[in-house]
Amino acid sequence: MTTYIGTATSRADGYAKVTGAAKYAGEFDATALAHASVVASTIAKGRIARIDANEALSVRGVISVLTHQNRPRMASDDSAYKDDVAPKGSPFRPLYDDQIWFSGQPVALVVAEEAEIARFAASLVRVDYNQQAHVTHLYRQRETAFALESPTDPSQNPFAPPRPRGAAEPALAAAEMRHSGEYYVPIQHHNPMELYASTVIFESGGKLKIYDKTQGVQNVQRYVCSVLGMESDDVRVLSPYVGGAFGSGLRPQYEVVLAALAARALKRSVRLVLTRRQMYGLGYRPAMIQQIELGANASGTLDAITHEAITVTSQYEDFHRQETGWSGLLYKCANARYAHKLARLDLPTSCDMRAPSAATAVYALECAMDELAVALKLDPIELRLRCYSDRDQHSDRPYSSKSLRDCYRQGAEAFGWDQRNSEPRSMRDGAELVGWGMATGIWEALQVPITVRIVLTANGHAEVSCATSDIGTGTYTIMAQVAADMLGLPIENITIQLGDSTLPQSPVEGGSWIAASVSNGIATTSKAVREELLRLAQQMPNSPLAHATPAEVMLADGKLVSKRDGSRAVSIAEAMQHGGVERINQERSTTFEHAGPHAHNTHSAIFAEVKVDEQIGVIRVTRVVSAVAAGRILNTKTASSQIMGGVVWGIGMALHEETLIDHKFGRIMNANIAEYHVPVNADVQDVKVIFVDEPDDAINPLGIKGLGEIGIVGVASAIANAVYHATGKRVRDLPITVDKLQR
């Protein structure tokens, strides 16, 4: 029964969000709540020589100033700071000692009766440093970057470059057509609307109830216990609503440690909300210098791909993803070689940001493919069709589904691609040059072990719970849709509980894996509920389902019904009343096969139109069509919103976003959303999202792939390719700003 799955169901949390009833981490109250404010380091590297908090402490209403010298005990072993998704290295420990790793690092925490007092007093804390020379410039660390080796056992480091195949260098040398280029993506910072915040409620016996902005309540719960040496039962982490996170909340951020430390020091509830500037002291999308070389046959098939990348991390952790592997995965090509180096800067550790690795790597690949198409005098879609691969090129497995051809076809049709004159600078609209560009997108279709509990009551209401988050993607809504269909109940009768560490197990919400995982998890637990109902129904005298097996019945319209004979039915209420059962409570875990016979990815084709003022060089993205193949779409409304959001971010990546560092001070100059440019309404015009049909009965029982991240992948390259088509000018370093078009 699919009454709700696949429909444009409105957000279950929509009303609460637009009316302000939905509470975020920094909005929960407690009696005698104290407020904290961070004092941040003004140097990028060195040691704290002295902290003078006297002036701050003399302000009326200031309760305490915590520093590394007077904070409560926290774990000294840095392995205690390893969260579920920590990279290799030694995690940052806030207020641990006198060491400064980056500008903006928290060095003291002022706690006061009011937030304004805390913030003012924080400006009065004097910190003296013994400064050391720092490096924040990627190009200056280019020579010292170290190589990540392809491991013989990929489980050792799943994010190391894949092993090469064939012999790329000889194939390149022999290729009839070659293209090589260096592409650059700068550091980009997370700017979710909701600021990072923790409200730590100090309960009797010293238990902590923590409202934190995070993508994983259980990850934060384990982390806090480990860092503060607390028992699991004494720390509960909640995050009912998240105002955007996109990867910045996969790891616990320092606000939760500081707020919990303060609550323990003062034995009272404490709230800490970071400022927008302080948010720039958390993670960021690593800058990436990449060189791509493509060797092709004159007929437009690929012979060789090499992809070399340098990305950025901190001095203390090795954050990276498998950036270079995407290029060898997407297209059919017998020879491929990858190299990835990591450069250390005096900055915080870089982190995941929507479609981490693919957003940056596929940008370069898809610009390079466009350049190759120009050199081969081939339509860019035609080149991609000639290189089309029905198999995963890394593992040489067939795909469980791959409807990328349909994305190209339907996207091109919706865009009107056949009207394109391939000659650069050939299309105009008054004083503006018009450019049309396209690109392919690819992302993973991952699934993670998850546990779901369903409590069904005799009045036909069900509560479905799981510790996953809803980071704004629509998880509440799709969970309710799936549960309503699986239990045969109206969606109004479903209540969703999530974002609470005491609920059944869930990994962080990330990687686009929760929709597929939790939906199939609900299906698994629903089956257990159905089986229990059938047992009850069969105990009834003259039960119409006396001989039915579990596979022969389904739940629909509040009844257990025989699939063979719809007249054979028992209502949920009857079965439960007869059995003397007030509630059915089932909890099941679901796991997924990963090394099966099939490979799984999501794909997209993006088409972009730009209009460029010929004299000034101002670029406008006037139209984007994104055609996506992502398995079964659970909710066309929230899914379209996800893709549209990805497209908007892709516009920002192409034209606006760039973290600017004053390398003399090692400090970010544009740490605010006035000067860190993101697309605004006027930058976003006509965006059309298409979902192509992609049935997939092999990936999981419900055929779901997930689509939180695919929306951004390829967008920046489609726009960059459109800018080339409009102007005849190739800009290979993002963002494409007016000055770069003039040089």
Give the residue numbers marked as catalytic. Answer: 709
Identify the three-state secondary structure at position 572.
Answer: helix
Closer residue to ligand MOS, CB minimum distance, 357 or 401: 357
Least distance (Å) between residue 245 CB and ligand MOS: 6
Count of residues of this chain found to bind ligand MOS when the rule CB under 6 A is applied: 10
Name residues contacting ligand MOS, limited to 501-530 (CB under 6 A). 510-511
CA end-to-end span of the chain, whole Å? 60
The token duo for 116 is: 């304004």
What is the number of other CB atoms lying within 10 angstroms of the CB of residue 360?
29
Place of tokens 């007030």: 582
Name residues contacting ligand MOS, limited to 307-366 (CB under 6 A). 352-354, 356
Nearest to 225 by CA among 204, 201, 207: 207
Q: Does 246 bind ligand MOS (CB under 6 A)?
A: yes
Least distance (Å) between residue 211 CB and ligand MOS: 20
What secondary structure letter does DSSP report for 24? P
Least distance (Å) between residue 357 CB and ligand MOS: 10
* Contact predicate 218/235, CB 8 Å: no
CA 419 to chain centre: 36
What secondary structure letter does DSSP report for 103? T
Of 192, 216, 247, 499, the residue at the interface with ligand MOS (CB under 6 A) is 247
Closer residue to ligand MOS, CB minimum distance, 202 or 246: 246
Least distance (Å) between residue 411 CB and ligand MOS: 24
What is the C-alpha to C-alpha distance for residues 66 and 39, in angstroms, rounded to an integer?
10
Least distance (Å) between residue 13 CB and ligand MOS: 18
Closer residue to ligand MOS, CB minimum distance, 246 or 331: 246
What is the number of other CB atoms lying within 10 angstroms of the CB of residue 674?
7
Name residues contacting ligand MOS, limited to 674-713 (CB under 6 A). none
* Contact predicate 410/611, CB 8 Å: no
Place of tokens 């641990």: 96
Least distance (Å) between residue 352 CB and ligand MOS: 4
Of 39, 201, 250, 329, the residue at the interface with ligand MOS (CB under 6 A) is 250
Least distance (Å) between residue 454 CB and ligand MOS: 27
Torsion of CA 650, 656, 658, 661, to 10 degrees: -170
Q: Which residue(s) pair with 625 in the sheet?
A: 607, 688
Closer residue to ligand MOS, CB minimum distance, 268 or 354: 354
Closer residue to ligand MOS, CB minimum distance, 306 or 349: 349
The binding track of 154-193 with respect to ligand MOS, each residue x by CB under 6 A or -, is ----------------------------------------
Helix pair 636-655, 358-376: axis angle to 10 deg: 70
Closer residue to ligand MOS, CB minimum distance, 162 or 247: 247
Nearest to 605 by CA among 689, 684, 728: 689
Place of tokens 């650059």: 184
* 108, containing H or E segment: strand 106-112
Nearest to 619 by CA among 514, 741, 476: 741
* Contact predicate 725/609, CB 8 Å: no
Closer residue to ligand MOS, CB minimum distance, 91 or 356: 356
Residue 262 phi/psi, 5-degree rounding, is -65, -40
Over its C-alpha atoms, the chain yields an Rg (Å, rounded) of 27
Least distance (Å) between residue 517 CB and ligand MOS: 13
Which whole-number Å values give the CA distances from 545 to 120, 463, 561, 575, 645, in the listed order?
71, 26, 8, 11, 48
Closer residue to ligand MOS, CB minimum distance, 160 or 508: 508
The binding track of 190-229 with respect to ligand MOS, each residue x by CB under 6 A or -, is -------------------------x--------------
Least distance (Å) between residue 397 CB and ligand MOS: 24
The token duo for 189 is: 């910072």
Closer residue to ligand MOS, CB minimum distance, 642 or 700: 642
What is the C-alpha to C-alpha distance for residues 129 and 110, in angstroms, rounded to an integer?
19
Least distance (Å) between residue 80 CB and ligand MOS: 24
Which whole-number Å values give the CA distances from 191 to 115, 119, 122, 244, 687, in the listed order?
22, 21, 23, 8, 22
Instruction: Name the one range near ligand MOS by CB under 6 A: 24-32, 242-250, 416-424, 692-700.
Output: 242-250
Least distance (Å) between residue 450 CB and ligand MOS: 15
What is the number of other CB atoms lying within 10 angstroms of the CB of residue 102?
25
What is the C-alpha to C-alpha distance for residues 741 and 724, in angstroms, rounded to an integer?
10
Residue 558 phi/psi, 5-degree rounding, is 75, 15
What is the C-alpha to C-alpha distance for residues 91 and 283, in angstroms, rounded to an integer?
12
| Residues, the chain | 743
Question: Rule CB under 6 A: which residues touch ligand MOS?
Answer: 215, 246-247, 250, 352-354, 356, 510-511
